[in-house]
Amino acid sequence: MGETIPTSGKKQIILNAFVMNTPGHLAPGLWKHPRNKTDQYKTLSFWTDLAQLLDKAGFHAMFIADTLGAYDVYKGPSNVVPTLASGAQFPVNDPLYLVPAMSAVTRNLIFGVTASVTYEKPYALARRLSTVDHLSQGRVAWNIVTSYLDSAARNHGLSEQIPHDERYAIADEYLEVLYKLWEGSFRDDAVLANRHLGTYIASDGVREINHKGKYFDVPGPHFCEPSPQRTPFLFQAGVSEAGGQFGGKHGEAIFVGGQTPEGTRLTVDNIRNIAKQQGRDPNHIKIIVGINVIVAATDEEAKAKREEYLEYADDEGALALFGGWTGVDLSSHADDEDFRFSHSPRVQSIVRRWSATVPGTDSLPWTKRRIVEYISVGGLQAKVVGSPTTVADELERWVEISGVDGFNLAHIVNPGTFEDIIEFLLPELRQRGLFREEIEKEGATAREVFIGSNRLPEDHPGSKYKWRAGENIPQYQTKEN
Ligand SMILES: Cc1cc2nc3c(=O)[nH]c(=O)nc-3n(C[C@H](O)[C@H](O)[C@H](O)COP(=O)(O)O)c2cc1C
């Protein structure tokens, strides 16, 4: 299991569908497109239909993004109005509740759910994730985020965000607490459920964790019995120095952005090097790049589809998303300003990367209009538009040059984008031996699907907290023990 090498010798790719529990994830305004039904995001059938579609087609996972506050920087501060018409990541429902229903109607699809370590307490989150790992029979992954919106901080009792790197220091201790709860609080053979003996759990099978650290004080024990994976499979997507260090230590599938395969190669090498420094086998980490695919029978039809989508784009929503991601409010800037020369280093670097990669735009001014167009069909992610051959060639080039293990595919319309990928792209990828023909093991857990093992691998830092069957370990006393 894990990385399957087909007879052609090519590495098979992982494909995730990237979604959010909201009308306008990465395509602001497109909710009103005739094909789109994301305004039905509040209904279970919207989600169970999508899950069944992806499961049947052989997708590896559905990755559900989440934020804990609105995109209120544009025309702000604290202004949600620009997001309202387009549903640009507003409103956003909680993703975790979708998973039990979707797992009940699917067999193999994995559900990656985002939850923030900055605003949720570890004891409570450990319980919620264990519950869903039980109910999905191990098909849940957790996308660990430290969150990046001031609006989330303000609504969770803080006047401003905790400084960026400190959020990762907190996250590191948070994970230690969770490993102690998930891996070390119940012995592997603690649960007997023996009717004859009248013993549900062995009296010596559960212990407190007594964690006392800089940020958390959690005595334990964990409130849930061991779930199939114990620690749910760990997704992460940090790009900064602190985020990369955290991901290289804890992450099992790392999500990266990137406009070119060459640039992404540097990120991939960096993550694998950090993992190595942490004593991990770098191949135990899957690296997945976000990309937006518009595919149709021919290049011309795919380009026409993109143009048609753009007719539904919402400028205000796109600029609101841009403001949330960058912290920069473009409302006071002139319509003809060329943001390749922006005074904001963040805006300048993003726009210059786009300008270097979108064919034919490197010598053109990158105005607000062009930014809106870029964001409206897939957010910040790289874009590929074309026939099955064009798109498959491009994905193959990405894998070869960047060394990524797969793609996180955003949608423009839903239903629509994933159906097109299934109809046009998957047959081409399968014909090239790049995408799995069949499921290697029915009902595998998330970790088995991604890296071929059910429990944390022994080289993962969480493994040192495992309480194995038959082992007699004294109570954890303090953080240092
Ligand atoms: C594919 C992908 C998905 C992400 N999903 C979320 C998300 O759902 N919620 C969130 O708060 N951040 C999300 N992020 C942001 C990352 O968690 C992280 O904050 C960002 O990449 C910046 O890295 P840094 O934290 O190291 O500065 C995502 C990033 C990527 C690349």
212-239: pLDDT as tens digits:
999 999 999 999 999 999 999 999 998 8
Cα(143)–Cα(233) distance, rounded to whole angstroms? Answer: 9
What are the pocket residues of ligand 1 if the criterion is a CB atom closer than 6 Å to any ligand atom?
65-67, 114, 143, 145-148, 237-240, 243, 255, 257, 290, 408
Give me the amino acid identity at 101.
Answer: A
% of the chain exceeding 70 in pLDDT: 96
> Residue 425 has which token pair?
């792209």
d(CA 27, CA 312): 9
Residue with tokens 């970790």, as numbered in its chain: 447
Atom of ligand 1 nearest to the CA of 18: 1
Assess contact for 54 and 128: CB atoms under 8 A. Answer: no
Q: Can you give the length of the chain in residues?
A: 481
Pocket-testing residue among 255, 274, 326, ligand 1, by greatest number of atoms within 8 A of Cβ? 255
In this predicted structure, what is the pLDDT of residue 426? 98
* Span 335-339, average pLDDT: 95
Res. 478: pLDDT tops 70: no
Please tell me the distance between residue 421's alpha carbon and the centre of ligand 1 in angstroms.
24
Task: Indicate if the pLDDT at residue 444 is higher than 50.
Answer: yes
Q: How far is the CA of 437 from the centre of ligand 1 (A)?
A: 31
State whether residue 171 is helix, strand or coil: helix
Is residue 166 predicted with pLDDT exceeding 60?
Answer: yes
Instruction: Mark residue 164 as left, alpha or beta (left: phi above 0; alpha: psi -120 to 50; beta: remaining).
Output: alpha
The C-alpha atoms of residue 142 and residue 234 are separated, in whole angstroms, by 5
Which are the contacts of 158, defined by CB distance < 8 A and separation ≥ 6?
Answer: none
Cβ–Cβ < 8 Å for 194, 228: no
Name the β-bridge partners of 466.
Answer: none
Instruction: Output the CA 117–ligand 1 centroid distance in Å.
Output: 12
d(CA 294, CA 337): 29
* Confidence check: pLDDT of 480 > 90: no
DSSP 472: -
- Classified by CATH at the fold level, domain 14-294+382-465 comes out as TIM Barrel (3.20.20)
What is the structure's pLDDT at 361?
Answer: 83
Burial grade of 441 (CB within 10 A; 0-12, 13-18, 19 or more): exposed
How far is the C-alpha of 447 from the C-alpha of 233, rounded, in Å? 5
Confirm if 445 and 107 have CB atoms less than 8 A apart: no
The Cα–Cα gap between 353 and 157 comes to 36
Atom 29 (ligand 1) nearest CA: 237
